Amino acid sequence: MNRRGFGCALCALAALAAMRAAGGQTSPEFVRPGHRPPPDTDEGGLWSVMDRAERDLRTSRFVVRDRALNAYLREVVCRLGKDHCPDLRLYVVRTPQFNASMAPNGMMQVWTGLLLRCVDEAQLAAILGHEMGHYLRRHSLERFRDARDKSNFGAFLSLGLAVAGAGIAGVIANLALLASTFAYSREQEHEADRIGLELMASAGYARIAAAEVWEQLIAELAAGTVERSQNVLLATHPDPEERLGALRAAAARAGGAEERGIERYRAGLAGVREQIVRDELSLRQYGRSEVVFDRLLAQAPGDGLLWYGKGEVYRLRAESGDPARAMEAYARALETRAAPPDTHRSIVMVELKQGNKERAQAALDAYLKAKPEAPDAGALRMLLEQ
Ligand SMILES: [Zn+2]
């Protein structure tokens, strides 16, 4: 399918939904472009809460303000959202976890841990498209009304608080809680998946990317040291395994354009990738980080930053055999001729720990050549003189 228009994709979806509604099922209604609910309605109330949360978010020190990145992400949002693009605002939040969320007022969040884990624009589009699905069908409002009607508001809130408690950055977790407005139902998830795939198709993206994203997350959780219950995205998006099958089947039926956008994605993230890799390492969850770097390296074996990250996993973990693994990864990083200068610094540390002073000195020389203004030059020299 070409980029003919989200409008048409929506027509088809709306028609489909209308048929279902005729059968007594879901309502066909999508949010209209430019929609703003009257303030004296429940929806208006929900929006005003989200507007307040968004004002806080806008000034948060966790928001990544890299211009090139934000301009790039805006393009992807508009390519998917088309007529709805002016109603959507995407914030990149510096948190090394896999999460994205969409508030009913059009405030979207993508956490940097998610950006690290996508291999290309199609995978990012799969997530954004899914989140837009929640927005277009007003799923948060549905959940809100459902909870209220069941006089279940206390449980609704405490569910949200449980999600907040799981986050690693309290403030951001609270925002995420507000923004995602609690767990969606299984039906809503399936609907968001379907709409996301339609948006992807309409924008010309490879739909198989939607299944890949969940496969990757499941693999990471299986290898990692973190409980599933602590994953914020899973807390609001239950049953990924169940949805995988449907997503794969839908992709298999897909035709038309199959764009991946690997190069565009890498270029868009260029200004923040090193920081994102460091943030991932700062969690010291080596099992999952190893899975992430290995997977990304399988796609991009010439990526010096990723080899450096993999080396850091082993250096920091420092279990039996890890120093050798770290050195091997650093060597691969240096081979790419695109390794961060800190690769040399890490080699200094590993060699010193092994008692190889001469090699540590050589690595220090290389480090200072690559980073003449290194603020830790003096400290490293002292370490070597001991
Ligand atoms: Zn969802």
pLDDT at 103: 87
- Range with lowest mean pLDDT among 98-112, 171-185, 250-264, 369-383: 171-185
Give the model confidence (pLDDT) of 276-332 as tens digits. Answer: 999 999 999 898 899 999 999 999 999 999 999 999 999 999 999 999 999 999 999
pLDDT at 34: 94
Mode of pairing for the β-strands spanning 107-111 and 100-102: antiparallel
Interval between CA 236 and ligand 1 midpoint (Å): 7
Quick one: pLDDT band at residue 242, thresholds 50, 70, 90?
A: confident
Tell me how far apart the terminal alpha carbons of the chain are, to the nearest angstrom.
66
Interval between CA 237 and ligand 1 midpoint (Å): 5
Query: In this structure, how many other beta carbons lie within 10 angstroms of the beta carbon of residue 190?
Result: 17
Interval between CA 198 and ligand 1 midpoint (Å): 15
pLDDT at 240: 74
Interval between CA 304 and ligand 1 midpoint (Å): 34
- Range with lowest mean pLDDT among 62-66, 78-82, 99-103: 99-103
Query: SS3 for 32?
Result: coil
* The token pair that represents 3 in the structure block: 């980029």
Interval between CA 268 and ligand 1 midpoint (Å): 25
- Range with lowest mean pLDDT among 12-16, 32-36, 93-97, 338-342: 12-16
Mean of the pLDDT values across residues 132-159? 72
Interval between CA 358 and ligand 1 midpoint (Å): 54
Interval between CA 351 and ligand 1 midpoint (Å): 47
Sheet holding 107-111, edge to edge: 89-93, 107-111, 100-102
pLDDT at 222: 79
- Range with lowest mean pLDDT among 6-20, 124-138, 335-349: 6-20
pLDDT at 279: 96
Interval between CA 110 and ligand 1 midpoint (Å): 13
Mean of the pLDDT values across residues 120-132? 96
More confidently predicted of 191 and 13: 191
Which residues line ion ligand 1, judged by CB < 5 Å?
A: 192, 237
Q: In sequence order, which residues have a C-beta less than 8 Å from that of residue 11 and are 6 or more positions away?
A: none
Residue 159: is its pLDDT beyond 60? no
What whole-number distance in Å separates Cα of residue 352 and Cα of residue 186? 54
33 phi/psi in degrees, rounded to 5: -55, 135
Quick one: pLDDT band at residue 50, thresholds 50, 70, 90?
A: confident
What whole-number distance in Å separates Cα of residue 8 and Cα of residue 198? 10
pTM score of the predicted model: 0.83
Quick one: pLDDT band at residue 237, thresholds 50, 70, 90?
A: low
Quick one: pLDDT band at residue 68, thresholds 50, 70, 90?
A: very high
- Looking at residue 235, its amino acid is A
Quick one: pLDDT band at residue 157, thresholds 50, 70, 90?
A: low
More confidently predicted of 232 and 197: 197
Q: For a pLDDT cut of 70, what percent of the chain falls above it? A: 79
Instruction: Map out the domains of the chain as residue ranges.
Output: 6-262, 273-385
* Size of the chain, expressed as the number of residues it contains: 386
Mean pLDDT taken over the chain: 83
The residue behind tokens 């549905």 is 142
More confidently predicted of 245 and 181: 245
Burial (CB count <10 Å: 0-12, 13-18, 19+), residue 358: exposed
172 phi/psi in degrees, rounded to 5: -65, -35
Q: Does domain 273-385 have CATH number 1.10.150.120?
A: no
Interval between CA 88 and ligand 1 midpoint (Å): 16
Interval between CA 180 and ligand 1 midpoint (Å): 9
Mean of the pLDDT values across residues 113-130? 96
* The token pair that represents 298 in the structure block: 């399988």
Residue 213: is its pLDDT beyond 50? yes
pLDDT at 214: 87
Mean of the pLDDT values across residues 202-213? 94
Query: SS3 for 100?
Result: strand
Tell me the DSSP string of 196-237: HHHHHHHHTB-THHHHHHHHHHHHHHHHSSS-GGG-HHHHHS
Q: Is the dihedral of CA 70, 370, 279, 294 positive or negative?
A: positive
- Range with lowest mean pLDDT among 2-6, 44-48, 75-79, 271-275: 2-6
Residue 152: is its pLDDT beyond 70? no
